Structure 1
């Protein structure tokens, strides 16, 4: 430790020693991670570079520390110490990386430290001090140096934290410092040594280390820049549509996001346009996908070549394009930009021997007029485009909150409808039906209810048409049939249930199987189930509808015509289809006492049903006067608010129990009727 307290040392040599040790050890640790990532020749290149850096920096540090004592060196022996340091460094790095999963890291670090010990003793021999074997090699300083070297490589290889490079570098520097500070005397007498002194050795070491570290840093910069360039290339490739070369959806969102952040809301605007290529799918079907690709690439090329510096265009999918123009001040500027795009799209496209004509309708959204976020702007432009495609007189339509937000809410409701099916948010309510003559409870009409977790109760008038449009009516309708039959199985065997089915359900071939499955699972008699249809549900394909209804009748179920007197009501329908009941629409019951036409229609309906042995039920009865008239006309069954509003199933159970207790001998058969929707 005398070296620590000696004043006879060269501070410049010590400063350089510390600098080279710090840079060299840090680069050694940092580059080792690149060896792990590399493969094949790349891995060998990094291994070679690390060995050179580790060996030369350790050697230079040792030489400069010895030089700081005023030593002179024999050049040949000094060169031999460099080769020794390089050899041990290469061996240690190879062992560390080839056996990283075992104790190779620790062994490799120890080998490098042993190499530093050997190199130090050779350097001391070059300075005329001579070797310290075997006594010096077993000193505490040597042991500590080897242990710290092993620990440095263990941390570097086995951990992957932000502090790993710093900890490993500090351990390697400590290993070198412990070695030289505990092994060297404060001053080395070299009077008898003929060799190079400070004036030759110091510049030589600086030149060698500058070349090695400069090459290492250059290699590092080249490798880092290559990675950056590769990432930029991948990032750019990920933002480009591979077919057309235009920007894709990700690039579109980034561009709009940048404009949202930089546009001065007080003085400037920008517009987002959305458009599809009309007739593209037709051309694609007729001429093939190769022609479709040709159209997309041609249109994209024309659009891109016509763009001004503040204009942007992207293809996001299929034939769907978006365009953005910034720096505008009026809505008219956005319209002019849209018309420019339309003119480009309309240009005929030559494909082999044919000229292909393509058009478009554009939807537009303005910032900051009605939106503040990227997704809102894109969504608004898309909604406006859908409205533009449904019109015949306007080619450019801007997002209108009063019109388009309702459509967006409808789309959101359709998403919620899917969730409602999965989360079982539907419930069936029942409205009582009664005999027109005895006023006795003879059944129920069941109404589906949707308990939305946010919007509350949603009217069937809102979600049933949506379910029919989206096709979800099939799943909802099947659930309603099954649930109603299961609930009816708890009631008396005389209770019938009737289910209203939509036109979409009737057009499906599996409706009879759904009905049969519901009857089988619930165990009810098929005669207790009645299906209601409207005439509008069978006129589209009467032959198919008749086939489906006959299959249902063959199961033992009955069929009722719902909403008779509205829509396509025709007497010929009773000749073609096997109806068991007619339900007169409430529109003719509400003014039955005051409107002669309504009275005549109800009377005629009863007159048609009686000779055909078809029962008549009147909907919407709300007062005693209406009930008296219907009884007088000979109507069989009635229902409406006069007898009660729809109630949940547990209340229907209670009502049936009460009716059973009050039922008189010889009463008519009880009938419970199910209906999808609240009409």
Structure 2
């Protein structure tokens, strides 16, 4: 009977789609390999000193150039389980080693499960590259540039100059000559920046659109201002290409020094930005060094913070708008994303891009997040189609011990079923794999709430995030979707993410779908769902619609009178 059971078990393991091997802990000889292992070995036999038929009985050392470390790991059960990724020539292998024990707990030997993940690693590297560098110019993107500043600040006795550059006249060329010409011009600007900043203590980044930035690891004012003057001259020299000869643009530059003007990334970027606006106000084509007198913008931010704090006392001027997410094949609405909007009596509608960072910096994100969550859950209970509601959660809300309670409270008070709530989180919240974040994810899933990874591809995209966290949905950032129509590299990213989602059994949503061309492209690349202006702009709930319309009517009348 026991022999029959053992034989049946071995047949089952042989037919498993997972590659399995066992190893003798004393001799390190492979004692068993199932058929999947042998089939995988046949794919990489040319990289090994053995064939698949010789696998059993051979030493596990054939997979390692320097096997001593690996022997120490797999021979001691205290080291197990252990996971590793190894390179074998051009191939990448993922390996997990677990301990096999007898009934009495004694160590019988290690069991290895493994897979060839070369394609997945290549996709991860492509996505990582796109997460760190701007695909058009090849320069560092904003996130990477900020990391560089932070690394510089961590050095003892640091000295830096931060330059913010904005192109003067670029928008006119981009609008009149077309985005193709505009993109070519941006690449030419990047090349000129590389030439002008060709020194080991200088770094360049594209911050977004037609904004660039430079780090000079020196706070010598004369050297910094000489560099700024050279940059103004280099970028202002006429550009000649194709039939658009002698096109000319310029640049305005704001400069902030560390430590004189700030000792944090936020302070330096903010003050370089303030100096940039001062340079533009001075007539463009100029550079300006930050001065405290330019701090009006900072004071304006403080006023905004105070106004937001007052608004959160009553919630009267806060609204939640909704934008549908639809399935491509059926055009059925599967969810609606909740998007907060703020009406200010003096300023009018204030962009979330302006007040959400203020809320995060000032600790107001918790009450604001609770308002959005409760309002979204309450509104969703009135929807006849009973589809899900998706709520964005700031990275600042994770890991603090309050998020899960807020979600539970919102569900209980509104009566919304947990499976109808979808929490959207960007990768910023996942950095460092903080234990508090991991616990929040686990507790949310235990409640029955779904989790989506938002803006995938723009932050710190990694397959590790998709393996480590239980995502139900991946949302592809709209910048890739919009550019996928004209740029093969962006289309390849959309396809790679859609393929990953399909393999993982995860829904992929293309954000920012605004035209039929966008829709055709993301459909061709294999996305599951879409969201964007092509389907519908964000709009208020039925309850808020009359007041929002009254506000907009009053704003139109005010604009007509002025």
TM-score under structure 2 normalisation?
A: 0.45
Q: Select the structure that is richer in strand.
A: 2
TM-score under structure 1 normalisation?
A: 0.37
Q: Select the structure that is richer in helix.
A: 1
